[in-house]
Amino acid sequence: MRKKVMKVCIMPRDEYRKRTIAIAKGEYVPKQDEPQIWFESLQTMSQVLSNENQNLLKAIIRERPDSLKELENITGRKNSNLSRTLKTLARYGIVELPKEKRAVKPIVKVTDFKVEFGLEQTAQ
């Protein structure tokens, strides 16, 4: 698998909301090199990118399962837990969950993360 880096930013929800409104109004145009994923706190990021979820991503890369059932067997995680985790990772663009031959095939889209955050206001 080719290495794909995704920029991640930590920004409080109210600042992110201001930024989004400024973009919608045309007052701010995001730069191409800005982060693709926004978390409201380090705690939220650590939940999504936990060691358990990183191990799940590594298992998908290594084993290339053709279905969630196969991934369930590989990881030993229950289907409901696995589905919920994969949907969260997909919402952030970290995995893709295309349906192939009546089965959802998990695909890792991001292998590395570059995290940016500061203590000063970051919204434009």
Q: What is the dihedral of CA 40, 42, 87, 104, to 10 degrees?
A: 140
Q: Report pLDDT digits (tens) over 44-65.
A: 999 999 999 999 999 999 999 9
Asked, for residue 59, whether it belongs to a domain, the answer is: yes
Query: Is the model's pLDDT at 122 over the cut of 60?
Result: no
Query: Is the model's pLDDT at 94 over the cut of 90?
Result: yes
Report how many domains make up the chain: 1
Asked, for residue 89, whether it belongs to a domain, the answer is: yes
Instruction: Please tell me the distance from the alpha carbon of residue 87 to that of residue 79, in angstroms, as a whole number.
Output: 12
Asked, for residue 122, whether it belongs to a domain, the answer is: no
Q: Which domain holds residue 61?
A: 5-116
Average pLDDT over residues 80-108: 92
pLDDT band at residue 120 under the 50/70/90 scheme: low
Instruction: Please tell me the distance from the alpha carbon of residue 22 to that of residue 77, in angstroms, as a whole number.
Output: 42
Q: Are 55 and 77 in contact (CB under 8 A)?
A: no
Residue 62's domain is classified under what CATH number?
Answer: 1.10.10.10
pLDDT band at residue 121 under the 50/70/90 scheme: low
